[in-house]
Copies of this chain bind each other. A is one copy, B any other.
Amino acid sequence: MAPPESVPAAAALGAFVAGSRWDAIPPALRHEAKRSLLNFLGCALGVSSDPAVAAAARVMARFSGGGRATVLGRPERLDEMGASFVNALAGNLLDYDDTHLETVIHPTAPVAPPLLALVEANGHTGAELLHAFVLGAEVECRIGCAVSPGHYDRGWHITSTAGVFGAAAGCARLLGLGAVRTAHALGIAASQSAGLVENLSTAAKNVGMGNAARNGLLAALLAREGYTAAPAAIEGPLGWARAMGDVPNQERIAGGLGRSWEFARNTYKPYPAGIVFHAVIDACLELRTKVASQNIVEVSVEGDQLLLDRGNRPVRTARDCRVSIHHAAAAALVRGAAGVEEFSASALNDPTIAALREKVRAGLDESLPRGAARVSLRCADGREFAALVTQARGSAGRPLADSELDTKFRENCASAGRGMEAGRWQEAIWGLEAEADPARLLRSMGRPAPA
């Protein structure tokens, strides 16, 4: 039964998180949690040598009270706060992670890192980790739903702003807080919620991600010490949602808790590019099997207004590549692939890709549904080819199979020079539910410090 409307959001969520039983979590959701962690861990490992990750680890190392937690793929060991910051930032660095489509939240990156750190610092079983993660991600998505779509449209980077609640909820669970203290942790998280869309194309976005994880942990730790928050911190007249410009939909927060699961709707990205470009890439990969790129004289991409708004732009940096129709199409047609390498600086500067980018034209087809794309090619010899994709790989209607997530994980590990270990790690992640000591797995995902 849904709590009555008069119950504050934080209290309803606190009771849900503290009272949840692992045996009441549906098997499909437990499995989704493992898929999400596999996907997140691969993404974070894959970018572990990125300069932005290295800089964050360097800064946090000076402010770390003991090496209790692994920084994924890196030699530093940091305290729970520092490891949460760096791992969250890394998991989402390339926007290659996961998406709750209704809210455009990337659910795992802010929530999983502090839980992984607590597992290493305090010792928890795999089932406890998965359970806390499911609950945290659920809280995050529900709070996001309550203020969508206005919240993001107004300039709030919802993965950061909602993520801090998810991190607080998951940490509260793993720390064993009761319902009341969990509610206070959520209210404290409300006073730490931040992150701006204006900053999305810069490193300041990464700071918002890291902070969501780190500050969510802090909220739970302070609530454990007796710190409190206002009962209506989330929905009150001077509280989180209204200050940010929304009248929150309370039913989306508290309705059907424990019965219906927003987190079950998580999806995974097959390509490290903006999600609106995925149908374009699918279509180009299909066309690549029929025509060699050197024969192409014109590429026409048609999609809905959102595709054009987000991706009809010049390309100057590798970051631009990930949000460019022209680059996505050209790279997929030239390389027959669309992995991390195809959106890197070397792909940006590949003369063959650059030449084909110049031949791409983007146009509107209002008849196409959201997320669909049509790509048409004209060859030097006059032949024409076209492909229409209405449901991109990885979308809700065409989810990535476990085997596809395995492949993505292996590729991410390989790009970090850890391909040899990928198989063992995969096996351990799929077996997390029965693992008594997942800290061993996490420790193995660091990197020995240079001698």
Contacts and interface: CB of A to CB of B under 8 A. Distances in A.
Contacts of A285: none
Interface string A274-309: 000000000000000000000000000000000000
A197 interface: yes
Given A55-B227, A225-B58, A194 B191 contact: yes
A222 interface: yes
A203 B190 contact: no
Interface stretch (A211-219, A254-262, A362-370, A408-416): A211-219
Interface in A123-160: 154-157, 160
A240 B192 contact: no
Contacts of A195: 191
Given A65-B65, A155-B238, A195-B191, A230 B202 contact: yes
A130 to B, nearest CB: 25
Contact of A192 (B58, B81, B187, B207): B207
A202 B229 contact: yes
Given A229-B199, A238-B155, A192 B190 contact: no
A15 interface: no
Given A59-B222, A63-B79, A79-B62, A191 B187 contact: no
A229 B237 CA distance: 31
A62 B227 CA distance: 17
Interface residues of A, number: 66
A227 to B, nearest CB: 4
Contacts of A157: 191
Contacts of A59: 218, 221-222, 225
Contact of A207 (B58, B218, B236): B218
Contacts of A82: 63
A249 interface: no
A228 interface: yes
A232 interface: yes
B233 A204 contact: yes
A232 B187 contact: no
A197 B66 CA distance: 35
A221 B61 CA distance: 12
A233 B196 contact: yes
Contacts of A240: 196, 198
19 contacts: A55-B222, A55-B225, A63-B64, A154-B238, A154-B242, A155-B237, A155-B238, A160-B191, A188-B199, A188-B204, A191-B199, A192-B207, A196-B233, A196-B239, A196-B243, A197-B243, A199-B230, A199-B233, A207-B219
Given A55-B227, A204-B228, 5 more contacts: A65-B79, A154-B238, A155-B242, A196-B230, A199-B230
> 8 closest Cβ contacts across the A-B interface?
A155-B243, A155-B238, A198-B239, A204-B229, A197-B238, A55-B225, A203-B227, A198-B238
